[in-house]
């Protein structure tokens, strides 16, 4: 999807494939169609090997969108009290919801797609049918924006 949340390329894959495995299927197909793409925002769930592979094979720059202090698990003691207080202030309120940069674009697109009854649940037998309905939903959304 682009930076505005419009779907560029869709591939529905089985649930037993990881994001990185699915990305290896979708990105070369997207590169053939959209040669001007040059930067990729990826989720923190992707492995470093995936990002390095994208850089080497497609020549794109990759930026991983992670939750701030995602690896913070706790404080090892003993530590100076002022350092403990500083770490506590940094992470206070971060145990619940934190806005991840650029992630909201993806979530907003999922919300747009959920307005379509056929995409609310997995009704389709073939994955290609679901892909087609996603494209139709995005076409419908863009046409409605052009008309208004």
If one compares 70 and 142, the residue with the highest pLDDT of the two is 142
- Segment 95-105 mean pLDDT: 72
The predicted model scores a pTM of 0.69
Between the two ends of the chain, the Cα-to-Cα distance in Å is 23
Q: To the nearest whole number, what is the mean pLDDT of the chain?
A: 79
Joined tokens for residue 13: 């894959």
Structural domain of 105: 19-67+98-147
- Tell me whether residue 82 is in a domain: no
Q: What domain count does the chain have? A: 1
Which pLDDT score, from 0 to 100, does residue 30 have?
83
Name the pLDDT band for 135 (thresholds 50, 70, 90): very high
Q: Could you tell me if residue 60 is inside a domain?
A: yes
In a domain, 33, yes or no: yes
User: Helix (H, G, I), strand (E, B), or coil: what is residue 41?
Assistant: strand
- Residue 76 belongs to some domain of the structure: no
Distance, CA of 87 to CA of 141 (rounded, Å)? 45
Residue 41: the pLDDT is: 85
Between CA 106 and CA 115, with CA 109 as vertex, the angle to 5 degrees is: 150
Residue 77 pLDDT exceeds 80: no
Res 105: pLDDT: 84
Residue 88 in domain = no
Q: How far apart are CA 115 and CA 141, in angstroms?
A: 10
Q: Higher model confidence: residue 124 or residue 141?
A: 141
Identify the residue with better confidence: 101 or 6. Answer: 6
Domain-embedded: residue 6 = no
Model confidence at 140, pLDDT cuts 50, 70, 90, reads: very high
Among the ranges 62-76, 91-105, 120-134, which has the highest mean pLDDT value?
120-134
pLDDT reading at 34 higher than 60: yes
Task: Give the residue, 76 or 11, on which the prediction is more confident.
Answer: 11
In a domain, 134, yes or no: yes
Query: Residue 136 pLDDT > 90, yes or no?
Result: yes
């Amino acid at each position: 999807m682009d930076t505005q949340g419009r779907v560029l390329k869709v591939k529905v894959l089985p649930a037993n494939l990881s994001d990185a495995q699915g990305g290896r299927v979708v990105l070369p197909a997207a590169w053939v169609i959209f040669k001007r793409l040059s930067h990729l925002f990826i989720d923190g769930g992707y492995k470093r090997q995936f990002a390095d592979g994208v850089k080497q094979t497609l020549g794109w720059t990759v930026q991983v969108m992670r939750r701030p202090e995602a690896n913070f698990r706790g404080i090892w003691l003993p530590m100076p009290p002022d350092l403990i207080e500083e770490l506590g202030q940094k992470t206070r309120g971060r145990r619940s919801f934190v806005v991840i940069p650029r992630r909201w674009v993806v979530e907003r697109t999922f919300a747009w797609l959920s307005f379509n009854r056929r995409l609310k649940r997995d009704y389709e037998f073939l994955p290609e049918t679901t892909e087609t309905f996603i494209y139709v939903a995005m076409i419908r959304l863009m046409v409605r924006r052009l008309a208004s």
